[in-house]
C-alpha cells in the first residue's frame, strides 16, 4: 500500500485551489497532451483521457483526472506499457480471456467492450476477463457505452498486488476494495450501480490522509482491530485495514461480495494472489447481456420502467429527500457539467503542474 501511496504524493501534496469549472474538451485535450508527451500511443491516450474525464463528469473525483498523476508516475517508473497490444489467452464466440501486459487499463477495457459489441447480438451473453491490466479508473465511466445500445453491462475489478481490506472478523489485509458496477438501460436514462465491496476506497483514504482529514465514519480498523475514522491507520506498520461493506456489524455481506469479485476477476482468469504479483494493476471481469435475447427488449424495458416508477412513487421518510435510484445523481451531475463545465477536485491541476512545466504544455484555463 505504501508503494501505491507514493504514486499519489505529488498530486495530494500540491497546494489547493479555489473551486472552478473547466471545459470538458479542454481538460481532455490537456490530459491527452500530457500522455502523448509521456510516450503513450495516440489511440490509447485518447481512450484513457475519455474515461478519466467521464469519471469526473460523474463525480468520481478520486478516480477521474486524479488518476492521471499516478499514471504519469507509473510511466516514469516504466510500470505501464505504452505501446503494442494484448495477448489472447482463450477465445470462443461468447467469451474472451486477455493478458493485458500492463497496458493502459481504460484502453484494454474498451477493447474488450468493442470485442463484445461484435458478438452480443448473436450470442446474447458475452463474458470477458482481463489479467495483468494496468489500473482501469472509475468503473461507472464505462457503463453508458453499453446502456446506450440497450445492453446490460457488469464490471468487476481487483488488484492482486495490493491488500487493504481484511476478511470479516480478521485483521490481516487480504483484498483490495474490489469495486463492481452494473449499467441497466431504461426508457429515461440508465441505472448505473458503482460501489466498492469495502466500506470505502483506497483512493478516498489516500486523499483524506494526504489532506489531513478524518473519514466521515469509522470505516477503518487499526492494526489492533479497533474502529477508527483516522485514514492514517491504514498506513501504519503493521497496517490497519478497511472494513468490508457493512462495517464491523454487518461486514460479512461485503466480505462475501469482495470474495466473489476476487474469484470472478483473478481466479477465473487464472492469475492472482497465489502468484504474489508486485506490479500495480488490475484483474477485470466484464459481462454484456442483450435483453432482446431473453424476454425481449420491449418486455424488459416495461418491467424496468415499472420498477423505477414504483421506487419513485415510494413514500419517502423525509419528503425533502425522495427516493433516489442508483447512479441518478451521477447522471444528473454528468449532464449538468457537460453544459456548465467540469468541477475538478482542488488538488488535481496543481498536482499535474510539474508535468505541464516539464513538457511546456499550457494548463487549462477555468471558464468565466
DSSP 148-167: TTT-EEEEEEE-TT---EEP
Within a domain: residue 268?
yes
Q: pLDDT tens digits, residue range 176-226?
A: 999 999 999 999 889 999 999 999 999 899 989 988 999 999 999 999 999
Identify the bridge partners of residue 179 per DSSP, sorted by sequence position.
196
Number of domains in the chain: 1
Q: E strand or H helix at 219, and its extent?
A: none
Cis peptide before 67 (omega within 30 of 0): no
Within a domain: residue 313?
no
Say yes or no to pLDDT of 14 above 70: no
Say yes or no to pLDDT of 11 above 70: no
The pLDDT of residue 17:
40
Q: pLDDT tens digits, residue range 36-73?
A: 999 999 999 999 999 999 999 999 999 999 999 999 99
Within a domain: residue 247?
yes
Say yes or no to pLDDT of 303 above 50: yes
Q: Residues 23, 367: contact at Cβ < 8 Å?
A: yes
Cα distance between residue 182 and residue 139, in whole Å:
9
Say yes or no to pLDDT of 366 above 80: yes
Of 230 and 11, the one with more pLDDT: 230
The pLDDT of residue 3:
52
Angle between helices 2-12 and 68-76 (to 10 degrees): 120
Cα distance between residue 186 and residue 32, in whole Å:
33
The pLDDT of residue 40:
98
Within a domain: residue 144?
yes
Say yes or no to pLDDT of 21 above 80: yes
Average pLDDT value over all residues in the chain = 94
Q: What is the mean pLDDT of residues 288-300?
A: 97
The pLDDT of residue 7:
54
3-state secondary structure of 296: coil
Q: What angle do CA 283, 149, 137 make, to 5 degrees?
A: 30
Within a domain: residue 327?
no
Q: Residues 146, 288: contact at Cβ < 8 Å?
A: yes
Within a domain: residue 226?
yes
DSSP 8-state code for residue 141:
G
Taking residue 19's Cβ as centre, other Cβ atoms within 10 Å add up to 10
Within a domain: residue 183?
yes
Q: Which residues form the domain of 79?
A: 2-299+332-358
Q: Residues 262, 272: contact at Cβ < 8 Å?
A: yes
Within a domain: residue 367?
no
Q: pLDDT tens digits, residue range 81-135?
A: 999 999 999 999 999 999 999 999 999 999 999 999 999 999 999 999 999 999 9
218: domain CATH number is 3.30.1370.60
Amino acid at each position: 500500500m505504501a508503494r501505491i501511496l507514493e504514486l499519489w504524493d505529488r498530486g495530494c501534496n500540491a497546494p489547493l485551489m479555489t473551486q472552478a469549472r473547466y471545459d470538458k474538451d479542454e481538460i481532455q485535450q490537456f490530459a491527452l497532451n500530457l500522455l502523448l508527451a509521456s510516450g503513450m500511443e495516440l489511440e490509447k491516450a485518447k481512450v484513457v483521457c475519455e474515461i478519466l474525464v467521464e469519471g469526473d463528469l460523474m463525480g468520481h473525483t478520486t478516480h477521474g483526472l486524479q488518476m492521471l498523476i499516478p499514471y504519469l508516475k507509473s510511466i516514469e517508473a516504466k510500470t505501464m506499457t505504452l505501446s503494442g497490444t494484448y495477448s489472447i489467452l482463450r477465445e470462443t464466440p461468447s467469451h474472451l480471456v486477455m493478458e493485458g501486459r500492463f497496458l493502459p487499463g481504460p484502453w484494454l477495457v474498451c477493447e474488450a467492450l468493442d470485442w463484445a459489441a461484435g458478438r452480443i447480438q448473436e450470442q446474447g451473453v458475452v463474458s470477458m476477463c482481463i489479467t495483468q491490466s494496468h489500473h482501469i479508473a472509475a468503473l461507472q465511466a464505462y457503463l453508458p457505452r453499453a446502456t446506450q445500445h440497450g445492453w446490460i453491462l457488469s464490471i468487476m475489478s481487483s488488484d492482486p498486488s495490493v491488500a487493504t481490506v481484511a476478511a470479516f472478523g480478521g485483521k490481516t489485509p487480504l483484498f483490495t476494495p474490489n469495486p463492481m458496477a452494473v449499467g441497466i438501460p431504461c426508457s429515461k436514462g440508465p441505472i448505473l450501480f458503482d460501489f466498492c465491496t469495502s466500506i470505502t476506497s483506497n483512493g478516498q483514504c489516500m486523499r483524506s490522509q494526504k489532506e489531513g482529514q478524518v473519514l466521515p465514519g469509522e470505516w477503518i480498523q487499526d492494526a489492533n482491530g479497533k474502529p477508527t475514522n483516522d485514514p492514517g491507520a491504514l498506513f501504519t506498520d503493521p497496517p490497519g485495514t478497511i472494513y468490508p461493506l457493512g462495517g464491523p456489524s454487518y461486514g460479512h455481506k461485503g466480505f462475501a461480495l469482495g470474495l466473489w469479485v476476487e474469484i470472478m476477476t483473478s481466479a477465473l482468469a487464472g492469475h492472482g494472489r497465489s502468484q504474489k504479483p508486485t506490479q500495480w494493476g488490475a484483474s477485470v471481469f466484464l459481462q454484456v447481456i442483450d435483453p432482446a435475447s431473453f424476454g425481449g427488449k420491449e418486455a424488459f424495458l416495461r418491467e424496468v420502467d415499472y420498477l423505477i416508477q414504483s421506487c419513485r412513487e415510494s413514500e419517502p421518510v423525509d419528503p425533502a429527500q425522495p427516493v433516489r435510484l442508483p447512479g441518478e445523481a451521477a447522471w444528473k451531475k454528468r449532464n449538468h457539467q457537460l453544459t456548465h463545465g467540469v468541477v475538478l477536485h482542488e488538488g488535481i491541476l496543481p498536482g499535474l503542474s510539474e508535468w505541464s512545466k516539464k513538457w511546456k504544455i499550457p494548463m487549462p484555463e477555468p471558464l468565466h
